[in-house]
Amino acid sequence: MLNKTRLLTPGPTPLPEEVRLAMARDMLHHRKPAFLPVMEDVRAGLKYLFQTSQEVIPLACSGTGAMAAAVTNLFTPGEKLLCVEGGKFGERWGEICEMHGQIPVRLPVEWGRAVDPADVARALDADPSIRGVLVQASETSTGVLHPIGELGRVTAGREALLVADGISAVGISPCPMDAWGVDCLLTGSQKGLMLPPGLAFIACSEKGWAKCAQVRPSNFYFQLQGEHAKIKANQTMFTSPVGLLIGLRESLRLFREFGLERLHAKQWALTMMARAGASAMGLELLAPENFTWGLTSIRMPLGVSASEVAKRASADHGVVLATGQGHMKDRVVRLGHMGHVDFGDVLAGLAALRQAFTGAGGYIGCPDALEQAMDAYGEALRQGPPAN
């Protein structure tokens, strides 16, 4: 009998049945009255998800498109931007800046570690001409959670904007945009939001919109001021991805029904479960602290190929895992536990990891690693997640 396929990557993630069925309905025209209630519900749901009073703009692109939109709409060519580089996606900020004429001031951070807010403060003090801090809320390539709330306190009262990539944080771990003083928060559809790839979302604070008004857009498609005006009329500037937005409406309904507090408690428990299971197997975690709640990055010892482990997990057990990125591509296995995933999926993922790891030449001497994982899950549910 064929194994059931379990998609346990850091995106795309499994889709709830309600979302899949919603997207299977007849097509609507994006400029006709029937579409307006869809967008009205989406607007309210996105504000709830971002925990903001500001409009959250949907864009028909991947999360990288929203990153580019942030850089090109909030900053002019020649402006200096502090880019926190603690992983593959942190490096992407600098690449986007260079392509569009901004000047990246790179702040390197060891992969697997979170940025120190004091280092950010020192960089801004040393060069007051820096106009933005670009950082990942969750660095998907490493599984590190950067201290966005603390960074918001660093940028408060300064001219520099705090721009946070929340692609593997929003809908997974706490990321209250207004409370944390984030000037621009963005995310994508294919991770915590339980949707297929193809949508990105971006919101700006009043400080962010004031800066946006001073910048002449350098991209015809990504014009945030134009999109901001359109969404207030329940429209988008260009052709709306109707099917995805209808699925989003349903996904956001599920978020409201379940509640962010319960969601975060679930995600924390799954994270504790994955980390406890991997540690019990004797495997080293890439992020010893300040770890994201949506994936667990696990180092492979010398002599064991991450690619071989992922290949065996998929072929033999139907569990799709991800390897590392950049220089860690064959040294790390990433186990995703975000979106429409529960403890049974993570348990299956850990079991597949154990079997695939030993099949690839590794050794695990602990016979009760899965039991320890379940114990950690239960204890995390009882204790609840740490305070923001």
Spell out the domains of the chain, with CATH numbers in brackets: 17-257 (3.40.640.10), 259-383 (3.90.1150.10)
Please state whether beta strands 130-136 and 80-85 pair in parallel, antiparallel, or not at all (unpaired): parallel
Closest by CA to 376, choosing from 350, 358, 338, is 350
Token pair, residue 272, equals: 């504790």
Residue 16 phi, psi (nearest 5): -65, 150
Flag whether the pTM goes above 0.75.
yes
Closest by CA to 305, choosing from 353, 366, 362, is 362
What digits encode the pLDDT tens for the residues 246-283?
999 999 999 999 999 999 999 999 999 999 999 999 99
* Contact between 126 and 75 (Cβ < 8 Å): no
Question: DSSP code of 80?
Answer: E
Tens-level pLDDT at each residue, the chain (388 residues): 467 899 999 999 999 999 999 999 999 999 999 999 999 999 999 999 999 999 999 999 999 999 999 999 999 999 999 999 999 999 999 999 999 999 999 999 999 999 999 999 999 999 999 999 999 999 999 999 999 999 999 999 999 999 999 999 999 999 999 999 999 999 999 999 999 999 999 999 999 999 999 999 889 999 999 999 999 999 999 999 999 999 999 999 999 999 999 999 999 999 999 999 999 999 999 999 999 999 999 999 999 999 999 999 999 999 999 999 999 999 999 999 999 999 999 999 999 999 999 999 999 999 999 999 999 999 999 999 998 7
* Contact between 73 and 131 (Cβ < 8 Å): no
What digits encode the pLDDT tens for the residues 357-367?
999 999 999 99
How far from 304 is each of 90, 105, 309, CA to CA, in Å? 27, 37, 8
Question: DSSP code of 339?
Answer: S
Task: Determine how many CB atoms are found less than 10 A away from the CB of residue 288.
Answer: 11
What digits encode the pLDDT tens for the residues 126-164?
999 999 999 999 999 999 999 999 999 999 999 999 999
E runs forming strands in the chain: 6-7, 56-59, 80-85, 103-108, 130-136, 138-139, 144-145, 161-165, 184-188, 200-204, 284-285, 295-299, 319-320, 322-323, 332-336
Q: How high does pLDDT run on average in the chain? A: 97
**pLDDT the model gives residue 2:** 67
> Is residue 334 marked as binding?
yes
Give the span between the Cα atoms of 259 and 107, in whole angstroms: 36
Give the span between the Cα atoms of 235 and 221, in whole angstroms: 15
Token pair, residue 51, equals: 């925990």
Give the span between the Cα atoms of 231 and 172, in whole angstroms: 25
